[in-house]
Structure 1
Amino acid sequence: MTSTAAARPVVDEFKDAFRGHPAGVAIITATGPSGPVGLTASSVASVSAEPPILAFSLASTEGSAGVISNADTIVVHLLGAENSELAAVFAARGSKRFGPDMEWSTLAGGEPLLGGVPRALVCRILSRIEAGSSTLLAAAVLEIHAGPAAAPLVYHDRTYHRLSGESAL
């Protein structure tokens, strides 16, 4: 039996699959020649506990992603549900990310550190791997700044969600 419906391209199926797969939300910041940059990412993953290494991917080599991709050090901010507006600001093209009304400071190495996030991991980039249309970066965690405890922020089906005790199975 054959189907008369055209098969969907695997790229569309892949995008649909990951829209249904929730992911934690982070903001990655760095300093470039024109000042601080940052972007929202849902691709951050733990790679190794000893030594602590994480990885993330960037889909572009332009703008903030290009600066982050070429940086020696970055800060990965793991967001809580209270940071959903911050995540939206750093996800929007052309938004004012480091204005005077934004809570942030500069670390000794020049990296921008956002305030009010549960955890901020200062990292040194270890490697960059071209992977299809993206770049996969691995980074060693050098230090961790702890902020206020918060329910995790996750991204699922193009929407931010809060995880809570009620969401546990």
Structure 2
Amino acid sequence: MSPDDFKALFRGHPGGVAVITADDGRGPVALTATSVSSVSAEPPLLIFSVSSLSSATPTIVAADTIVVHLLDAHDLDVARLASTSGVDRFADPANWSRLPTGEPVYNGVRAWVRCAIINRMEAGGSTVIAAHALQSSIARDVDPGDHGDALVYHNRTWHRLGDHSRLD
């Protein structure tokens, strides 16, 4: 299968939007990801992948801990910021802070989870990272069955899930 065919295949598969932040001692980095998935509740594990093309990847891969921000539509500015090349994603100190453990975290997002990286696997032009959830914060919880203004990325466009998108 060609790379273009593979990309076309996944353009039609929406993904939840997250931002990964890390600082391995060289300064904070951030990137937007749609590859975050829960793996296990006991122990609490998640995975995601980072492209070797991203300038943030070397820092994320080298870090011992990271923060995964799970976004909703109210966090679109954070998603856009972390997906824009060539900008200082931490230029505005009002947008972010550091956890007591040192990791950079964006303020006011729906939820974040601080994780310890437990495994890295090279896969094509990406690195798949497995992480153990250590600490979390939920600013805007989602009730069971509620759409919660979820932010998804589909066919190169941001979307908000809502009652209009409910099928049952």
Structure 1 residues without counterparts, runs of 5 or longer: 1-8
Instruction: Using the TM superposition, give the Cα deviation of residue 45 of structure 1 relative to its aligned residue in structure 2, in angstroms.
Output: 0.6
- Alignment of 1:154 with 2:152, yes or no, is yes
1:61 and 1:69 in contact (8 A); partners too? no
1:47 aligns with: 39
RMSD of aligned alpha carbons: 1.5
**Paired amino acid for 1:30:** A
Corresponding pairs, count? 161
Instruction: Using the TM superposition, give the Cα deviation of residue 148 of structure 1 relative to its aligned residue in structure 2, in angstroms.
Output: 2.9
1:118 corresponds, among 102, 110, 122, to 110
1:75 and 1:112 in contact (8 A); partners too? yes
Q: Distance in 1 between matches of 2:71 and 2:77?
A: 11
2:133 corresponds, among 124, 141, 162, to 141
CA offsets 1:63-92 (integer angstroms, 9 cap, x no match) = 211100110000000001011121111101
Q: Which has the higher Rg, Structure 1 or Structure 2?
A: 1
2:68 aligns with: 76
Q: Pairwise mapping of residues 1-169 of structure 1 onto structure 2 (< 5 A)?
A: 9-60=1-52, 63-100=55-92, 102-149=94-141, 150-169=148-167
TM score, norm. by length of structure 1: 0.90
Q: Percent identity?
A: 48
2:75 and 2:110 in contact (8 A); partners too? no
**Paired amino acid for 1:142:** L
Q: Distance in 2 between matches of 1:148 and 1:96?
A: 27
Relative distance call for 1:76 and 1:99 in structure 2 (3 A) is same
